[in-house]
Structure 1
Amino acid sequence: MSSSPVGRPTRGTTGVNRLRRIDRWIARHPVLRRTDDPLVVDLGFGASAVTPLELLSRLRRQRPDAEVLGLEIDPDRVARAGEQAAGVAGVSFARGGFEVPVPGGRRPAVIRAMNVLRQYDEEDVAGAWAQMCDRLQPGGILVEGTCDEIGRVATWVEVGADAVALSLTVSLRLAELDSPAIAAERLPKALIHRNVEGERVHAFLASLDREWTRAAALAPFGAVHRWRTAMQALDDAGWPLVRRERWRLGEVGVAWDAVAPA
């Protein structure tokens, strides 16, 4: 185990069900279904064992043999989480950062790093991605992003084991949603300063907001129907959408090349 974790301590904020959208997305991802070693790392899990334990519970609905390793730089957080999760099989905790130390030389299928890079500069992102992805299994993924305090607005980047970004996902609670442009406030660090005229992510969010507005007449049929109609319009307009089966959940995924910094 590393004696000098790479990175800075997170703010430690966490909350029950805050990362539920990301958990369920990971649990249904093909990489978790096909791997022979379903180890998932929760990097920067925060001030308690809440998010690693919730992640384990949701993963095991799809992979009963899934395991979760929670990593934190702060040793007090690691000790506290271990006490809180005492007796729970399949979850463990250790001190670590972007170097992702895993006992026994195992490599995770998935590394989740939510609300970790928001405190860094944009130019730090590529290096952090590369360091984390270097620890993945072949074909594994890094899931890195940001969400609001109660998990109703979330965005994340899927990054392959070669440290090349694959997609951006926007996930929103549709009930009482006024504008999907609210996602701009929670974009991952690689994109949050790029939501300006002339940038691809700005064009995508503008199109998303426009199609949601155009579908307003369908609101009486329910927010999900309105959302799916808006997503179909985005697809028809040529946006390279991915994982379309998740539209019903208030999510939309788009290929990274369509939103990457210009």
Structure 2
Amino acid sequence: MGTVTRGTTNPNRLRRMDRWIAATHGAELRRAADPVAVDLGYGAAPWTAVELLHRLRTVAPHARVVGVEIDPARVAAAEPYTRPGLAFRHGGFEIPLSRRPLLIRAANVLRQYDEAEVAAVWQRLCARLAPASEHSHGGLLVEGTCDEIGRRHVWVALGPQGPRTVTFATRLGSLERPSDLAERLPKALIHRNVPGEPVHAFLRDFDRAWAAAAPYASYGARQRWMRAVRDLAADWPVADGPARWRQGEVTVRWEALAPRG
């Protein structure tokens, strides 16, 4: 179920997303007896699935990754990369696995869809996640968009019950202002970057905080970013702390940026 994507992919493109997943969801993966992750729509080459397995196993040695692609030719091309812990399946948003995964990563998949289609896709994918329990927050869906070499990336994290957070991540040396990330907003938000919408107000305030933090630029772009995020957190529900800010990231609660109406 779904539409074949352009298939554009590059090695190391999703490193920022992968590092964030390992840091924030690693404990859930470690606790699971059989932690399964899905790389949905990995594209014309399986690099991102191979890399996801490597990065998840640094925090959860028993993690498994299944690359899922709707194009049968791409699945056939990926078969030589099959190894213990890494497999490839033909399928789409139905997620053709016998068990519910603890992670679904869908990067640059919904970019070609209409905004009106996003909510239904999110709902379908969240329904396939491992459910929450007494000892687990359940599975995680990470859906977002990045540029061709992974310098700028914005993603939404969703649990079984729906959206939780939005993360902005960038290579700080390439950033002129935080609103440069607007071009990489996921489909649910990219058309909402207009006056009157929360995401527009957030990026406006972020640019102002960045400008006010200009004196910190003499200590490097990282220190300027961290100061800007610290000031931004006075008015916006920032959900992470300095350890993530140092990576060129900031995560905000979804409800603060959710589209109006």
How would you bin the TM-score normalised by the shorter chain?
A: over 0.9
| Contact residue 151 and residue 174 of structure 2 kept, 8 A | no
Larger deviation: 31-40 or 62-71? 31-40
**Partner residue of 1:241?**
238
Task: For residue 142 of structure 1, report the CA deviation from its aligned partner.
Answer: 0.6
**Partner residue of 2:150?**
151
Q: Give 2:96's aligned amino acid.
A: P
Matches within 5 A, 1:1-262: 6-30=1-25, 31-83=28-80, 85-86=81-82, 88-102=83-97, 105-138=98-131, 139-162=138-161, 164-236=162-234, 238-244=235-241, 245-262=243-260
Distance 2:244 2:150 in 1: 17
| Contact residue 156 and residue 187 of structure 1 kept, 8 A | yes
Q: Give 2:11's aligned amino acid.
A: V
Task: For residue 213 of structure 1, report the CA deviation from its aligned partner.
Answer: 1.4
Distance 2:29 2:240 in 1: 15
Distance 1:49 1:181 in 2: 31
Task: For residue 216 of structure 1, report the CA deviation from its aligned partner.
Answer: 1.0
Q: Give 2:213's aligned amino acid.
A: A
Distance 1:21 1:38 in 2: 21
Count of matched residue pairs: 251
Distance 1:22 1:213 in 2: 26
Task: For residue 89 of structure 1, report the CA deviation from its aligned partner.
Answer: 1.8
Tell me the secondary structure at the aligned position of residue 246 of structure 2.
helix
Distance 1:182 1:227 in 2: 14
Q: Give 1:189's aligned amino acid.
A: K
State the TM-score, normalizing by the size of structure 1: 0.93
Tell me the secondary structure at the aligned position of residue 206 of structure 1.
helix
Task: For residue 243 of structure 1, report the CA deviation from its aligned partner.
Answer: 2.2
| Contact residue 171 and residue 251 of structure 1 kept, 8 A | yes
Distance 1:184 1:204 in 2: 11
Task: For residue 34 of structure 1, report the CA deviation from its aligned partner.
Answer: 3.6
Distance 1:33 1:224 in 2: 31
Task: For residue 33 of structure 1, report the CA deviation from its aligned partner.
Answer: 3.9
Distance 2:84 2:14 in 1: 21
Task: For residue 36 of structure 1, report the CA deviation from its aligned partner.
Answer: 3.4
CA RMSD of aligned residues (A): 1.0
- Pair 1:225–1:146, CA change in 2 (3 A): same
Distance 1:209 1:252 in 2: 14
Structure 2 gaps of 5+ residues are 132-137
Task: For residue 29 of structure 1, report the CA deviation from its aligned partner.
Answer: 1.8
Task: For residue 129 of structure 1, report the CA deviation from its aligned partner.
Answer: 0.5
The share of aligned pairs that are identical, in percent, is: 56
Task: For residue 188 of structure 1, report the CA deviation from its aligned partner.
Answer: 0.5
Distance 1:168 1:66 in 2: 25
Q: Which runs of 4+ in 1 moved over 2 A?
A: 30-37
Residues 159-201 of structure 1, C-alpha deviations (whole Å, 9 max, x = no match): 1112x21110000100142111111101010000000000000
